[in-house]
Homo-oligomer: A and B are copies of this chain.
Amino acid sequence: MESQLIARLRERIPPHPLVRLGPGDDAAVLRLAGIDQCVMTVDLLTDRVDFELERVDPRRVGRKALAVNLSDLAAMAARPLAGVVALALPRVGGLDLALELYEGLLPLAERFSLAIAGGDTNSWDGPLVLSVTLIGEVTPRGPLPRGGARPGDQVVVTGSFGGSILGHHLDFEPRVNEALLLAERYELHAGIDVSDGLSIDLGHLIEESRCGAVLDLDAVPIAPDARRLAHELDNGTTPLDHALGDGEDFELILAVPPDDAARMLAEQPLCVPLTVIGRFVAEPGLWQTDRRHGRSKLVPRGWEHRFD
């Protein structure tokens, strides 16, 4: 499993003077040109795992390949600067496919003033693979790591959760501008974007922060698609289950000191709602609470790349 690999790599990879924050966060933080300001992230997408090329417009696939990386920069509160795109294309129809992927990717790059600086284009007999690497710069407030949450901080999220498989996972808005605005106006201690699932990604954040969190289930914002999916599947999973475990919402989870969280909620400075869904606690572990059942252990649910 990926977490196991990261643990092994963290033991194996020696400290390096350029690396301020290495494997295990949303992006690496590098000291370049003598300035602690560069952030680097990569995400690789494969056909039949991250999208179904047979069923979806390739422009949406190209857009997603960039958007998931922008979301990682957002999770670090970093401004996008430049990126490179590597493709493994099927041999037949590869050129047209590549052009369509770029037609989806480039408008999003332009919207965030991101320079597409280069790439590598390959053909092979396998399914489509896209790998996008971005560099960004953090603001004067510094990077927003996973490991900074403190007991007493509020768990604040952007937007709503669940059911992204119905289409949102291709068309979501990476929360870059939202993260930059919040980092500028409020004190933020930690952040992560929800790619694997709300509960599992909150789990990643508390693990890095060496603390715990209590999630208020009644407060979790449930996306309309989570309700639609629960209704369509009709298999006993609730909209809340989908919100907690579906993944690919690409919303932000933030650790915010109580005063700033209160101010943030009162001001609602974004186009998307900000919600407090719980608090960080000293005791390690993930807990849930609701009006009816009180507090109990929350088993994180979500996506993890499985390999053994």
Task: Give the number of chain A interface residues (Cβ < 8 Å).
Answer: 77
A28 lies within 8 A of B84 (CB): yes
Q: How far is the CA of A90 from the CA of B126 in the complex (A)?
A: 13
Chain A residues close to B by CB (< 8 Å): 1-2, 4-6, 8-9, 12-14, 16, 18-19, 22-25, 27-28, 30, 32-35, 37-38, 40-44, 46-49, 81-82, 84-95, 98-99, 102, 106, 110, 113, 115-127, 129, 131, 133, 135, 137, 305-308
Give the copy number: 2
- 14 inter-chain pairs at a CB distance below 8 angstroms, sorted by A residue, are A13-B116, A16-B82, A28-B84, A32-B81, A32-B135, A33-B33, A40-B82, A41-B118, A42-B86, A44-B131, A89-B305, A91-B306, A95-B307, A120-B131
Tell me which residues across on chain B come within 8 A of A86, comparing CB atoms.
42-44, 131, 133
Q: Are B95 and A4 in contact, CB atoms less than 8 angstroms apart?
A: yes
A14 contacts B110, C-beta separation under 8 Å? yes
Assess whether A122 is in contact with B46, with CB atoms less than 8 Å apart.
Answer: yes
**Bound complex: CA A131 to CA B43 (Å):** 10
CB < 8 Å: which of B12, B40, B47, B137 contacts A117?
B40
CB neighbours (8 Å) of A115 from chain B are: 16, 18-19, 22, 30
Contacts of A119 on B, CB cut-off 8 Å?
Answer: 9, 23, 42
- The answer to whether A118 touches B23, judged by C-beta atoms less than 8 angstroms apart, is yes
Given contacts A16-B113, A23-B119, 4 further A-B contacts (CB under 8 A): A18-B117, A22-B117, A43-B120, A46-B129
Please determine whether B118 and A40 come into contact, CB atoms closer than 8 angstroms: yes
- A137 surroundings in chain B (CB, below 8 A): 32-33
Q: What's the Cα separation between A47 and B82 when bound, in Å?
A: 28
Q: Which residue of B lies closest to A25 (CB)?
A: B118
Output the least CB separation between A53 and chain B (Å): 12
